[in-house]
Chains A and B, each alone.
Chain A
């Protein structure tokens, strides 16, 4: 056998697609050990994303998480090293091969969706965008809304906030966050216009639209009768509206 044959044969043996038969085949118990390592590795990645979904499936006695991952590895093995693709593929497999789980847990589909978004926002790339430094933020905070709107906005699937807000819901906007201090929080704007109510604390992470808005609100000063959430909502709605509901504030003002 050449190298290619050896590699394919080993992987086929690992999840029972081929039974070791030739004398030169690796011992079955050692092949099984590698299968367990593969399941363990991929289970770790999936549980990191879908822990709450696994909890619900197990609580409903619809499957044990490691067994589910093993079945997934057997029937629809990953085609890349991407943790994001692994999560997407797992959900697609679950829908196709274990529909009874969704029959009995109709809310699971939504939970899986949110957890995938949560993973995407945690890993989302900053791209070439430059985070505002504190001096820039301070400067921007002194600007009027009209002046702020002269800044170039850049289409992007996510708007990032740099501090944990916890899970919040308003009409037209889904917020998916990861609990715990220090994780970046991103907003999924795919659903429509932005609306947000959240208390802004001092930040030490990358600058964000929310930070900008906070600076703007501070610059407004005392405005009797103004509800902070309403002011922030209006600010964000204006900015989002300018760029078709999908914006990320860039660091340079538009030249034209």
Chain B
């Protein structure tokens, strides 16, 4: 495993940097230890957005969580994108970076949505080889996130999702950003056992976790980031934390129906209590 993964600190529970509450984040004392930044919102942009990001970097630890690396695409890697991302990571002092196990477009169609890949050996090897290139290029610890999905490609020899994530991370020698809500959403959409999924994952590679809310639309669970975390996801979070060999940073995602910051912080506090119960030594030192 890449030694650089160990440089990701156990920062506790953070929030996504969002315009809805950035002024609150910059007023008074820091409300969380770290922030996760969607780099595409800041890459090659200046003015006030950039100022806000740099101001946050002076008060919070930052990590990059991209949505446009298009890791699973069979198009060539976009090195203009990677150069811009690397520049931003360095300028803002971000400690690690992550993106998703998906594709967002191919050929002359780039849709900017996280689209599901087939869980094949070919896709796993393709992803792993590209992730290795990305890690070499970015020179920061790099994690890949399991995505929510609303169907699974029916292809011969397909693995289970948990096996696919494991295979990619092992072959790429990268970390895993475990999105607990996505595991739950997919378990409902595709009918698998979420605990079995967790049991399959190599938790020594899990170096960050996401928590978020979702919606129910008919027979589909949608990963909307638009509601409070569901009770079942809290339960799964406790199961995931119990499997961690070390404390890792956890992040609450909220992108729609964003409530007042104080309301988000209540969920942050609940996550912190779960982490503290699992890693009391860290809690005592915090």
**In the complex with contacts A6-B153, A81-B81, A34-B109 CB distance below 8 A:** no
Q: Which stretch of A104-112, A123-131, A141-149, A226-234 is in the interface? A: A123-131
* A78 interface contact, C-beta 8 A: yes
Q: Does the CB pair A125–B44 fall under 8 Å? A: yes
Q: Is the CB of B110 within 8 A of A37?
A: no
Task: Determine the distance from Cα of A14 to Cα of B106 in the docked complex, in whole angstroms.
Answer: 13
Measured in the bound complex, the distance between the Cα atoms of B105 and A41 in whole Å is 13
Contact B113 A41 (CB under 8 A): yes
Interface size for A (C-beta < 8 A) is 44
**Interface residues contributed by chain B, number (CB under 8 Å):** 39
A81 pairs with B104, CB closer than 8 A:
yes
Instruction: Name A81's contact: one of B48, B106, B112 (CB within 8 Å).
Output: B112
Question: CB-CB contacts of A18-42 with B at 8 A, as 1s and 0s?
Answer: 0000011111001101100110011
* A33–B220 CB distance below 8 A: yes
Q: Contact between A11 and B45 (Cβ–Cβ < 8 Å)?
A: no
Inter-chain contact A3/B120, CB cutoff 8 Å: yes
Residue-by-residue, is A178-211 near B (CB-CB < 8 Å gives 1, otherwise 0)? Answer: 0000111010000000000000000001100000
Residues of A within 8 A of B72 (CB): 3, 7
Give the chain B neighbours of A33 by CB distance below 8 A: 150, 220
Q: Given A1-B155, A4-B74, A126-B47, do A77 and B150 touch, yes or no (CB 8 Å)?
A: no
**Within 8 Å of chain B (Cβ to Cβ): is A171?**
no
A3 to B117, Cβ gap below 8 A? yes
A160 interface neighbour in B47, B70, B74, B153, Cβ under 8 Å: B47
Q: Does B73 contact A (CB under 8 A)?
A: yes
Residue of A nearest to B111 (CB): A38
Complex: A81 Cα to B43 Cα, angstroms: 12
Tell me whether A78 and B111 are in contact (CB under 8 A): yes
Bound-state CA distance A7–B151 (Å) is: 14
Q: Which of B48, B74, B109 contacts A183 (CB 8 A)?
A: B48
Contact in complex: B46, A126 (CB < 8 Å): yes
Please, how many angstroms separate the alpha-carbon atoms of A37 and B222 in the complex?
10
Question: Is B28 interfacial (CB-CB < 8 Å)?
Answer: no
Pairwise interchain contact B120-A10, C-beta atoms closer than 8 A? no
- Asked if A125 and B110 make an inter-chain contact with CB atoms under 8 angstroms apart, the answer reads no
Nearest CB of chain A from residue B130's CB, rounded to whole Å = 12
Instruction: Write out the residue numbers on chain A whose beta carbons fall within 8 Å of the beta carbon of B48.
Output: 182-184, 205
Given A6-B153, A24-B155, A81-B68: A184 and B47 interface contact (C-beta under 8 Å): yes
Count of A-B contacts with CB under 8 A? 114
A11 touches B109 (CB 8 A): yes
| B-facing residues in A60-98 (Cβ within 8 Å) | 73, 77-81
Q: Can you name the residue of chain B whose Cβ is closest to the Cβ of A37? A: B113
The yes or no answer to A2 lying at the interface (CB within 8 A) is: yes
**Which residues of chain B are near A186, meaning CB under 8 Å?**
47
- Do B110 and A77 have beta carbons less than 8 Å apart? yes
**Is B201 engaged at the interface, CB distance under 8 Å to the other chain?**
no
- Look across to chain B and name the residue whose beta carbon is closest to the beta carbon of A4: B74
Contacts of A217 in B (CB 8 A): none
Pair B123/A30 contact, Cβ less than 8 Å: no
Q: Is residue A122 contacting chain B, with contact meaning CB distance below 8 A?
A: yes
Among the interface residues A7, A30, A41, A79, which one has the most CB atoms of the partner chain B within 10 A? A7
B44 cross-chain contacts in A, Cβ below 8 A: 123, 125
> What is the CA–CA distance of A25 and B118 in the complex, to the nearest angstrom?
11
Say yes or no for B108: interface residue by CB 8 A criterion: yes
> Which of chain A's residues have a CB closer than 8 A to the CB of B122?
2-3
A23 (CB) vs chain B CBs: closest residue = B154
Contacts of A123 on B, CB cut-off 8 Å? 44-47, 49
- B108 contacts A77, CB within 8 Å? yes
Question: In the complex, A23 Cα to B73 Cα: how many Å?
Answer: 23
**Chain A residues, CB < 8 A from B239:** none
Binding site for B on A (CB under 8 A): 1-4, 6-8, 10-11, 14, 23-27, 30-31, 33-34, 37-38, 41-42, 45, 73, 77-81, 121-127, 160, 182-184, 186, 205-206
Give 7 A-B contacts (CB < 8 Å), ordered by A residue.
A26-B153, A38-B111, A77-B108, A77-B110, A78-B109, A81-B81, A122-B47
* Further 8 A-B residue pairs, CB within 8 A, beyond A33-B220, A41-B113, A184-B46: A1-B155, A3-B118, A6-B118, A38-B113, A41-B112, A121-B47, A122-B47, A126-B46
